[in-house]
Structure 1
Amino acid sequence: MNAPLTDRTVLVVGRGGGIARAVALAARDAGARVVAAGRNQDALKAAYDGEPGITTEYVDLTDEDSIAALGDRLGGIDHVVSTASARARGVLADLDRDAVRRSFDTKVIGPLMLAKHLAPRIGEGGSLTIFSGVAAAKIAVGTLAVAITNGAAEVLARSLAVELAPIRVNAVSPGVIDTGAWDGLGEGKAGYFRDIGARNPARRIGTAQDVAAAVLFAMTNTFVTGTTLRVDGGEPLT
């Protein structure tokens, strides 16, 4: 039996680690030819050095010309996944306007431009998967800009699912996932993870592989479109 993505080409936009890497490896292991694209070419090449079936490309989601050029280089494609983000954390009084713009530009406008330039190149049965996040479903002080960015990404997924049909478009919304994104907490990271894992209904912290499995589902289930797949351990319920 063929793997679910055999002979398919999957573009994964993001960094060379964490969730983006887990998605790239999962797609490759499911039979796809994977193109990992992002701004830091040296880091991407180092991350995927020695990984068969994965090539790297340059793209800057804040630069429409860069996105159009990537489409020209790729030609035909089957699935597009955008994991890129630029968070703007802080309470309202401390929010920086440029940081909020970067957040929207990277996670909402960037995927919108990916759809504009790559949708005409997506083959039959293809899909676009973008990323939201748990902050859109669980409102908390200090995550206002993150929440509204993620909420906009979910609306974008639903809107594109209608306009681009039959290309399927979905969003994946991770909760607290054990990646390097939390390393900035320093020694507080372990305590934060214990607290979240003790309170959420799943009783654990998520892994990058948990999220990659949801992306793989979004790419391969041909009757799922216009939805947000929540991979958050039930955190919004707490």
Structure 2
Amino acid sequence: MRAGLEDRRVLVIGRSGGIAGAIVTAVRDSGATVVVASRNPDALAEAYGEDLATEAVDVTEEASVAALAHRLGHVDHVVSTASARARGRLGDLQPAAVLQSLSTKVLGPILLAKHFAPRMPRDGSFVFFSGATARKPAPGMLAVAATNGGVDAVTRALAVEIAPLRVNSVSPGTIDSGAHDALGEQQKAELFAGRAARNPAGRVGDPEDVVRAVLYALTSTFTTGTSLVVDGGETLV
């Protein structure tokens, strides 16, 4: 079995920036042919130019996933960073937001496996995204915790269901990927400082920390059914 990514075809689903963008760059630099997909392919095309093939997909819709699998045919690996977080305390949570979160990160991987696995080589793999709240929930993160816990469960179950194809997830902690920019510069700095002070690693993460875990999941042929924790020990304290 080939362990590297040279001459492999990798589908990366997600936005054009942040962690997804860093993954695309790293996978391409590793010698793979990359196809990027999201619900907004125009934004992907604008970000990546003509260097990458761009596709439209909504991972919550089976017909959309099936159509993408039919268009692409053979791929070696699938990475999905798609998410739809439903933050909020119990009394404020709206069922529609919770269902969208679960549909994107839990149903989405199931649909991707259903339609892509039959087209993949025996040494292919899937990489999905969980998160630290699956192991250390906090007030206001109930739906996010439930979603991420679901991702971890689906990862283990799919690893058994579609073996020998490998299925893993990456579970980041606090990552400076742009996701916190909406807080504003001061509030973001205070949040990061507090978490870095408590974190055993003494810092928050950056996209490259996550990318290294993704590359490991893609290329380690004896790793499957695992959630790779990339949180600097955040969930230990």
Place the TM-score, normalised by the shorter chain, in its bin.
over 0.9
CA 1:162–1:3: 2 relative to 1, 3 Å: closer
The equivalent residue for 1:36 is: 36
Counterpart in 1 of 2:84?
A: 86
1:127 counterpart residue number: 125
Q: Secondary structure at the match of 2:122?
A: strand
Shift of 1:189: 0.6
- Aligned residues between the structures: 235
* Superposition CA RMSD, Å: 1.2
Q: Does 1:137 align with 2:135?
A: yes
TM-score normalized with structure 1 length? 0.96
1:11-58 Cα distance to aligned partner (Å, 9 max, x none): 0000001111111111101110000100111111111126x4x32111
What's 2:151 paired with? 153
Please tell me whether the aligned partners of residues 89 and 140 of structure 2 are also in contact (alpha carbons under 8 angstroms): yes
Q: Partners in 2 of 1:124 and 1:102 — Cα distance?
A: 32
Do structure 1's residue 206 and structure 2's residue 184 form an aligned pair?
no
The 5 Å alignment of 1:18-29 reads 18-29=18-29
Q: 1:108 maps to what in 2? A: 106
Aligned to 2:228: 229
Q: Does 1:191 align with 2:190?
A: yes
Deviation of 1:71 after TM superposition, in Å, equals 0.4
- Structure 1 CA distance for aligned equivalents of residues 95 and 122 of structure 2: 40
Superposed CA offset, 1:57-86 (max 9, x none): 110112111100000110111000110000
Letter in 2 for 1:124: R
Counterpart amino acid of residue 72 in structure 1: H
Letter in 2 for 1:133: G
Helix, strand or coil for the counterpart of 1:202? Answer: coil
Instruction: Write the letter of the residue equivalent to 1:105.
Output: S
Secondary structure of 1:156's match? helix
Q: Aligned equivalents of 1:231 and 1:56: distance in 2?
A: 28
Q: How many angstroms apart in 2 are the aligned matches of 1:4 and 1:28? A: 12
Contact 1:3 1:31 in 2 (8 A): no
Residue 124 of structure 1: CA displacement? 2.7
Decide which of 61, 74, 77 is 2:75's aligned counterpart: 77
Quote the Cα distance in structure 2 between the aligned partners of 1:3 and 1:67.
27
In 2, the alpha carbon distance for the partners of 1:152 and 1:221 equals 23
Q: How does the TM-score come out when normalised to structure 2? A: 0.97
Q: Find the residue that maps to 1:158 and give its secondary structure.
A: helix
Aligned to 2:174, what secondary structure does the other structure show?
A: coil
Over the matched positions of the two proteins, sequence identity in percent amounts to 59
Match of 1:163 in 2: 161
Shift of 1:3: 9.1
More displaced stretch, 68-77 vs 177-186: 177-186
CA distance in 1, matches of 2:69, 2:35: 12
The one-letter code matched in structure 1 to 2:235 is P
Structure 1 residue ranges (4+ consecutive) displaced by more than 3 angstroms after TM superposition: none
Q: Deviations over 1:149-171 (max 9, x none)?
A: 00000000000000000000011
